[in-house]
Structure 1
């Protein structure tokens, strides 16, 4: 009985410590470019003109400052690489695993999570991924901004998953993200609309059919990655 009581006290103490670290976040403030614990997205020049759902992704610290991998050995801090944030998705820190030790994992993948690399706080996880990607070579297909965000989510074991990759990160922000404002919607879709209209006027319907076929092909490539073998497309 004494052993059980001691265990209960220790467990409650440990849980309280972890809960205490999850202090309230500030409000999301797009004007100040502050998105606490959010995934953030913005369209890419040229690429988004052909496929408006493809863009550049980052992840934000608890104070709302963004981090994004935008080039070899380069992780931007508080300077989103290709423009203002257009979409965001705030994540729930309670769905993360912050183990104080191996026996303190709240996820079901304790050993795998420990081997990959754990963190005590949200910001700690982002900082560790930052250090790792400061020594990575950028590749738009296999090691890009989505890969950096996926690395952060795997380090957090967000949602109890260690299978985050660049494609299911894209799907998450695509289907669950929120637009910052109406201007962001226009900024994301206007170039695509202009390209489609010009192509239709100059070339005709074959151009429009080809453009939409390319867009759906790229969309299929993004979504297919959700079901790929883990690590196939990861950095």
Structure 2
């Protein structure tokens, strides 16, 4: 019975989680990663907008998926299509992974410890967002991940929904060729159909919708700083 146990679960139970674990898209395990997947309808029209999450040391995905709800190990809008692994050396955290306990969650912080581990930072953000309302325009999945990155001190902080979206769009890696097709093909199909049946009218509405969303987050992030929550 002991020999047939899942090696990963055995490591967790024993509190001996390895410092680095291999990325395994088949099992949805992305250690120390930011992950992204397209959103229905919105990503079909604006392909660089999607749903985003952040992963624990053991690769389990956390994402802010609704009011007072952070999803654990069940990415809200389907499998991951893009990911970006973060180097711990670029964060202001302990070089040692936190100890995870399958029954109680995380072992409490040691007294007097000033710098959190990766999982400690994620736990604190999760606890905070479990008491937050969800709003696509003011407090969404990007707010949650930006909050985590600021706690982790990645590149000294300063993360918001705009530079986070740019980071994953410009530097994110595709999981597979199939993930590229799944993310991009619906946009080309919907755009082609829109032009075919709507022509200039469709193009006008599409440009207005895109400019509205992009402009909202730019203004809310850099001009009205209390508008977009982090």
Whether 2:123 is the aligned partner of 1:127: answer yes
The Cα offsets for residues 52-111 of structure 1, whole Å up to 9 and x where unpaired, read as 110000000011100000001110110000000011000111111137xxxxxxxxxxxx
Whether 2:149 is the aligned partner of 1:153: answer yes
Distance 1:57 1:76 in 2: 11
Alignment match, 2:46:
51
Distance 1:225 1:31 in 2: 37
1:25-64 to structure 2, matched below 5 A, reads 25-64=20-59
Aligned partner of residue 204 in structure 1, secondary structure: helix
Alignment match, 1:12:
none
8 Å CA contact 2:217–2:228 kept in 1: the answer is no
Distance 1:229 1:211 in 2: 25
Aligned partner of residue 76 in structure 1, secondary structure: strand
- CA separation of 1:150 and 1:226: change in aligned 2, threshold 3 A: same
Distance 1:46 1:74 in 2: 22
Alignment match, 2:162:
167
Structure 1 residue 226: Cα displacement? 6.4
Q: Which has the larger radius of gyration?
A: 1
Whether 2:93 is the aligned partner of 1:76: answer no
Distance 1:157 1:207 in 2: 43
8 Å CA contact 1:67–1:80 kept in 2: the answer is yes
| Greater helix fraction, Structure 1 or Structure 2 | 1
8 Å CA contact 2:121–2:148 kept in 1: the answer is yes
Distance 2:181 2:223 in 1: 33
Distance 1:170 1:216 in 2: 16
Structure 1 residue 141: Cα displacement? 0.8
- CA separation of 1:79 and 1:191: change in aligned 2, threshold 3 A: same
With normalisation by structure 2, the TM-score equals: 0.77
Alignment match, 1:94:
89
Distance 1:57 1:227 in 2: 21
Whether 2:206 is the aligned partner of 1:211: answer yes
With normalisation by structure 1, the TM-score equals: 0.75
Distance 1:203 1:120 in 2: 54
Structure 1 residue 218: Cα displacement? 3.6
Structure 1 residue 216: Cα displacement? 5.3
The size of the alignment, in residue pairs, is 197
Q: Unpaired segments of 5 or more residues in structure 1?
A: 1-20, 100-117
- CA separation of 1:217 and 1:143: change in aligned 2, threshold 3 A: closer
**Please, what is the CA RMSD of the aligned residues?**
2.5
Aligned partner of residue 203 in structure 1, secondary structure: helix
Q: Which runs of 4+ in 1 moved over 4 A?
A: 219-232
